[in-house]
Structure 1
Amino acid sequence: MSQQMPYPSYPSYGYDMYQSTQFPYGMPQQQQQQQQLAPMQPSGTFIPGTPVTPGQMLVEESYIENILRLNRGKVITVYQTFENNSQWNAKIFRGVLETAGRDHIILSDPQTGKRYLLLMVNTDYITADEELNYVPPSLPIGMR
């Protein structure tokens, strides 16, 4: 009976391998101590089971859903295409950004009161008539 080799431990989602105490395949670690970062999911919530100690910085990655959430209440235009649709291959939706999630955007049309739940998978690009709020992600110390 052959002996199975253990799988290497890969960094989990949102985990910064440059800040870890273990590296896959036993790669050497830098000796300099850096400020630790607490990983967050794209939705802006903590990754369950991740311990947060005093002095840790909270890091949120730059995802479309997070950028959209920073701009709730602004009027945006969402350009979408739909494959294999004989009635309409492309559509444009304009309205007030209510919220956004990992796979969707919710717009409301102030003139009709109608709300649209749009899938991100169909979204090609988004425009806004005013400046968008955006917080660029910061790189860990030593990666700048």
Structure 2
Amino acid sequence: MITQPYRPVTYTIGSVSSGMYENQGMKGMQGMPAIQPMQGMQGMPAMTGMQGMPPQVSSGSPMTPTGAVIPTTTPVFEQSYIENIFRLNLGKVGTFYYTYENNKDWNAKVYKGVLEAAGRDHIIISDPVTGQRTVLLMIYFDYATFDEPLLYQYPGVIGNPVTARNYR
């Protein structure tokens, strides 16, 4: 087996080359003949590399038969996460149930107040009588109840009008 010393390889794509030795062009390995540019058909120029890069295509984008990408806009909607439901219902009075595991003083606690803000990992409620605000972490959140209808927007739907319902 013949061992040759390591030499970085240079690849040429179109007129752009990459590698350590850019001035060497398309030389062969030591002791091997150099690679010559491929000759084209009669009347066609010789191909020395890729003539162009393919277009960047985002997943699922349609293409024409000629290979052109048809740009599309992806609809952006809120997903049905609890913080988004809370954001749709800011200003409503709710009762929020929390469980704090391994707590000797109080394992479960109930908070009632006006929903003022909702983030990914917390909500802020306020007591309508005293005005005291409380930040509650969602990691301990169990469920919430409201005494009035809630706004809820399904993913992909522009909006849901509030309708009156007869509860029996």
* TM-score class normalised by the smaller sequence: 0.5 to 0.7
CA shift in 2, pair 1:111/1:79, >3 Å: same
Q: In structure 1, list runs of 5 or more residues that go unmatched.
A: 1-19, 24-28, 38-56, 140-144
Q: Which has the higher contact order (CA 8 A, sep 6+)?
A: 1
Q: Which residue of 1 aligns with 2:118?
A: 100
Q: Which residue of 2 aligns with 1:36?
A: 73
Q: Which residue of 2 aligns with 1:11?
A: none
Matches within 5 A, 1:56-95: 57-95=75-113
How many residues align structurally?
96
Match of 2:154 among 119, 136, 142: 136
2:141 is the counterpart of 1:123: yes
TM-score (ref. length: structure 1): 0.59
TM-score (ref. length: structure 2): 0.51
Match of 2:58 among 21, 32, 35: 21
RMSD of aligned Cα (Å): 2.4
Deviation per CA, 1:1-51: give whole Å up to 9, x if none: xxxxxxxxxxxxxxxxxxx7338xxxxx887989632xxxxxxxxxxxxxx
CA distance in 1, matches of 2:140, 2:131: 23
Partner of 1:116: helix, strand, or coil?
Answer: strand
CA distance in 2, matches of 1:59, 1:96: 26
Q: In structure 2, list runs of 5 or more residues that go unmatched.
A: 1-56, 65-69, 158-168
CA shift in 2, pair 1:120/1:68, >3 Å: same
CA distance in 2, matches of 1:116, 1:108: 6
Give the % identical residues.
54
Instruction: Name the amino acid aligned to 1:87.
Output: D
CA shift in 2, pair 1:129/1:34, >3 Å: farther
Match of 2:128 among 91, 110, 123: 110
Structure 1 position 113, deviation (Å): 1.5
